[in-house]
Amino acid sequence: MAIEKELRLKENIKHRDVNWLSFNERVLQEAEDQSTPLYERLKFLAIFSSNLDEHFRVRVSQLRQIKRIDKSLRKRLAFRPKKEVKEILKGVKSHQERFGTVFFDEIIPQLKEHNIHLIHSGEFSEPQCKEASDYFATKIVPELNPKIVDFKTDKDVFLQNNTIYFVVAFENEKQCGLLNIPVEACGRFYTFKNKDSKDYFITFIDDIVRSKVSQIFPNKTVKGIYEVKMSRDAELYLDDEYEGILAEKIYNSLEQRTEGQPTRLLYDAKMPKELRKAIRKYLGLGKIDMMPGGTYHNFSDFFGFPDPTDNTDLHYKPLQPLKHKYLEPSTDYFKTIKEKDQLLHFPFMSFSYVERFIEQAAEDENVTAIKISLYRVADESRLTTALLKALDNGKAVTVFIEAKARFDEKNNIVWGRKFEDKGAKVIYSYPRIKVHSKILMVERLENGKNKRYAYIGTGNFNSKTSKIYCDHAIFTAHKKITKELSRVFDVLEGDLIIPRNKHLLISPFTTRRVFEKLIRQEMDLAQEGKPASITAKMNSLEDPAMIDLLYKASDAGVIIRLLVRGFSCLIPGKKGLSENIYMTSIIDRFLEHGRIYKFGNNGEELLYFGSADWMTRNLDRRIEVLTPLYDEDLAQELNDILNIQLSDNVKARIQDAQESNTFVKPKVGESLVRSQYAIYNYLKEKHSND
């Protein structure tokens, strides 16, 4: 019966990995947008490419793992990984065609209009040939590892994950050449010296290598040169037993990232069919693993595409970080926070306020303890330096390190060891649960009593990402909030199994239950004929039970407004199912990352924000913290920001059953609202000292 119910629900739930393509298409739309500055369009192409690589390394590889499940059980659960992979590949192919059009037909010509020429080896002038030859001999040759592969006898060739190679076709079709492109050592692009010319010439190092292939394989007749790139499974399939230190297991298992099973071989579409077939068989790949592409791969390298002109018109104009009205002039954060809760909004405000708070705590003689959860630890920063300083000053520092933060495991564990060496109490991940909450607590002796100060946010403690992620955070000394947050840290330290809480929402203990209760409360109000509404902003919406409840709430007459940046498994606006659900998504200059939830509550709105999306993992398998806002002024501020985002009619796309990604159009007489800039101006006025 449970399986039948799940099957019925599946009919009205989109597959997350297929719908994710709709999100990446929105990134591609930004690259296609002529109003986006030229170098920012290049960055959106880089983001699109980077997203796609990770999708294949993580999600597509997971679909392949499902194929190992017993076929009869897969059938009963409606798991169809092969069908879904085919659907993904079909969508990717369509997107890559648009990608090529944007890059070759629009961006390359527009670069030329600004005297920036991306040229290939056949276009090198004689002086450029000489310069490229010198660079090749001195910088590139030492990093090359050429091989001649015999398809029948050689079995030891391994293509590293995400590394670019040339497959070189010889006259002898039983062999091919394999040549790495040393991007990590040499960079992806080479800028030719500019000798008093207004024109700048840039080339891929691939093309410099391409021009020298006949020298690298001197005794072979070269018939063709084709670029390939392998994507491999990025998951770390670790046993979840409790013995041993999980951090050590992860650290020692990171090499699996390069040795994981193949999930995609991207190849130059011009590669001859017979060579393609030989490569596929040699590497043990299926036809579904092969993905045709262009002449060049790894467009994520365009994050570092050089701008020799320093033309500011080709980039977004800098937004000067806003000065917080109360924290900026404060010389005593403890006094300022004790007087009133303080709300921060990144990237419109500087992360330095968080760093200054920890620096002050590290030096304050009355501070006894600092506790913090770190999900993605930045490289050496003011924050990590301040924590080390606190240890030098004899503070009790407790750091929870999430060892399973994908792609940041090694850096997280390295920093955990540094803190341990200094005397911190460092706690690593639990085998079956992640700690995703963004929380900090400082304990201070005041008048002989222990006073707590807390920070709860939606984004990581990372100054670099705070400049590109839209996040919210609060400093508070509210007794009930800080008391409950201390219990969360007690759970992390193993001193408490289940935290008692009435104010904070804490996963996996109360978040789901409270959200379900609040949704049902709105359903009851609607059925009584009273106004009922739910507004939710998040990164992703996936949890089947929450989606099913939202469908029921829509049917009951609750007005539901969703703002989901990434993928969503919910089908909005479907007759007889979700007619009262309207969903949009914003992709713009900064990455929308905040999670905000608002419930009508019979006219007394309830507002929460924190680290959890409505995904099963965030509700049931992660330590997450969301907080209410009890300060009326701050609740109004966050509510105003949310409403600005809901009214975006420049960068918002409508999410519908057809996944059309249609831009929201302003109504007649309606002003244009580009929410990220509108929020900046709103906060600028609110925090003005005039």
Binding positions are 51, 376, 406, 469, 565, 593
**Cα–Cα distance measured from residue 212 to residue 134, given in angstroms and rounded to the nearest whole number:** 12
Residue type, 203: T
Secondary element (H or E) of residue 554? helix 544-556
Structure tokens at 97: 């065609």
Please classify residue 599 by burial: count the beta carbons closer than 10 Å to its beta carbon, then call 0-12 exposed, 13-18 middle and 19+ buried. Answer: buried
Largest CA distance in the chain: 86
CA 44, 46, 51, 56 torsion-angle sign: positive
Pairing of strands 189-191, 200-204: antiparallel
DSSP code per residue over 220-236: S-EEEEEEEEEEE----
Q: 350, 323, 312, 345: which is closest to 676 by C-alpha?
A: 345
Q: Which residues belong to the annotated binding site for ATP?
A: 51, 469, 565, 593
Contact partners, residue 142, CB within 8 Å, separation at least 6: none
DSSP string, 598-657: EE-GGGS-EEEEES--BSHHHHHSEEEEEEE---HHHHHHHHHHHHHHHT--SSEEEE-T
* Distance separating alpha carbons of residues 255 and 633, to the nearest angstrom: 50
Running DSSP on this structure, what letter comes out for residue 596?
E
Cβ-Cβ contacts under 8 Å for 370 (sequence gap 6 or more): 358, 361, 362, 387, 390, 395, 396, 397, 398, 440, 441, 442, 443
DSSP string of 243-304, one letter each residue: SS-HHHHHHHHTTHHHHSPEEEEEEETTS-HHHHHHHHHHHT--GGGEEEE-S---GGGGGG
DSSP 437: -
Question: Exposed, middle or buried by CB within 10 Å (0-12, 13-18, 19+), for 233?
Answer: buried
Give me the catalytic one of 324, 436, 478, 687.
436
Tell me, what amino acid is at 87? E
Q: For residue 207, give both structure tokens.
A: 């093309």
Instruction: Specify whether the CB–CB gap between 294 and 269 falls below 8 A.
Output: yes
What is the SS3 string spanning 572-592? CCCCCCCCCEEEEEECCCCEE
Residue 488's beta-bridge partner residues? none
Q: Alpha carbon 218 to chain centroid distance? A: 45
Q: Residue 236, exposed/middle/buried by CB under 10 A (0-12, 13-18, 19+)?
A: middle
C-alpha dihedral sign at 179, 182, 183, 187: negative
Is residue 436 annotated as part of the catalytic site, yes or no? yes
C-alpha atoms less than 13 angstroms from C-alpha of 302 in its C-beta half-sphere: 23
Separation between Cα atoms, residue 470 and residue 487, nearest integer Å: 28
Three-state DSSP class for residue 201: strand
Rounded Cα distance, 281 and 660, in Å: 38
Tell me if 551 sits within 8 A of 12, measured CB to CB: yes
| Residue 205 parent element (H or E) | helix 205-210
Residues 197-226 as b or e (16 or more Cβ within 10 Å = b): eeebbbbbbbbbbbbbbeebbeebeeebbb
Active site amino acids: 436
